Structure 1
């Protein structure tokens, strides 16, 4: 398990990065979870059998604005429910106890619950134009974690096939690759380059996919089941506040082209 930022300056550095690089102030991380395929342990029955029809353990991760892991929780068996994995993680308890600086939050996809500390996209249909803008702006910030998982699999080929070690060793392998990913991201000029990751042509409104998406990566499928629709008034009001902000004083010049 990684150590989340411990000082105000560490948190502030991440928030400034999301604000300046991804145009989303107040964000302190992007969260996602993926299945890591394994060979089922003997006598494990259906414990690791997931909804995709394979055996796996789940990797839950938070990343910063610069494609580095700041938190991982791995080892939950693939049969676990999406909400169960998040709610049993240490970061859930920390977030519930106001771990983030006041008013701060992380961003996730539709599988996560809407919380004052966790914003996710609007899901209902039809969406207003302003809600589409919010979803686009959130996607820009959240797409970082998708790319981190993609780079992890494309660089560490042990993920090309189900890992056949016992579960404890598999957990160590996953943690080790995440540590190596961070080290290489910070020290290498070739480990992660622009072509590897998603980027935008804001003139044409086109999202250009990173090279990892074109590879035959059969591992780390998403956890696709949706979270429930229950959310607090405070969480809904925070999302609505950012929706208004992104369509007014917080607008960026190209955003309309990206949702048309």
Structure 2
């Protein structure tokens, strides 16, 4: 769960495809090794090096929480795709747990914000490489288990 490429500085309202296009066209930009793919969400199209889920098929992991199995090869692919993408979301969750400043609006100018984000991603990778057990990951697990308990409580009270 490490960052391999960071492109900071885009505003949140920018279309994902536009940001990706910027990343792959920059000098020393994002490069996908031959024979490999990066997983992207349904907002992207399949193209060399980037693999999106099947549209119109169950996708989110919660779709299989009730024990139902995928019925088609496309659903099976989407289940595995969602599981792998979940790792990406967990990595961003770890980053926000470790450095709370990333969870709130910043008063720094955009150039400083970009440097902060890049530095935190580098530090995250260093910590992941050097520590056998990551306390932030334990905190993330606790946070998710509390959310699951709250969801279970809401489901019980809404019945």
TM-score (norm 1): 0.45
2:50 aligned to 96, 118, 122, which one? 118
CA contact (8 A) 2:8 2:114 kept: yes
User: Relative to total residues, which structure has the larger strand share, 1 or 2?
Assistant: 1
Structure 1: how far apart are the matches of 2:111 and 2:146? 29
What is the Cα deviation at residue 158 of structure 1?
A: 1.0
Structure 2 residue runs without a partner (length 5+):
59-69, 148-159
Structure 2: how far apart are the matches of 1:129 and 1:93? 41
TM-score (norm 2): 0.71
Partner residue, 1:100: 33
Structure 2: how far apart are the matches of 1:155 and 1:215? 18
Partner residue, 1:82: 16
Partner residue, 1:140: 83
Partner residue, 1:169: 112
Q: How many residues align?
A: 136
User: Relative to total residues, which structure has the larger helix share, 1 or 2?
Assistant: 2
For residues 158-197 of structure 1, the aligned pairs below 5 Å read 158-191=101-134, 195=138
What is the CA RMSD across the aligned residues, in angstroms? Answer: 3.1
What is the Cα deviation at residue 160 of structure 1?
A: 3.1
For residues 26-105 of structure 1, the aligned pairs below 5 Å read 67-90=1-24, 99-101=32-34, 103-105=35-37
Structure 2: how far apart are the matches of 1:213 and 1:182? 22
What is the Cα deviation at residue 68 of structure 1?
A: 0.7
CA contact (8 A) 1:83 1:112 kept: yes
Judging changes above 3 Å, is the alpha-carbon distance between structure 1 residues 193 and 118 closer, same or farther for their aligned structure 2 residues? same
Deviations 1:35-57 (A, max 9, x none): xxxxxxxxxxxxxxxxxxxxxxx
Deviations 1:167-212 (A, max 9, x none): 1111111011101100100111332577556xxxxxxxxxxxx335
Partner residue, 2:66: none
What is the Cα deviation at residue 165 of structure 1?
A: 0.5
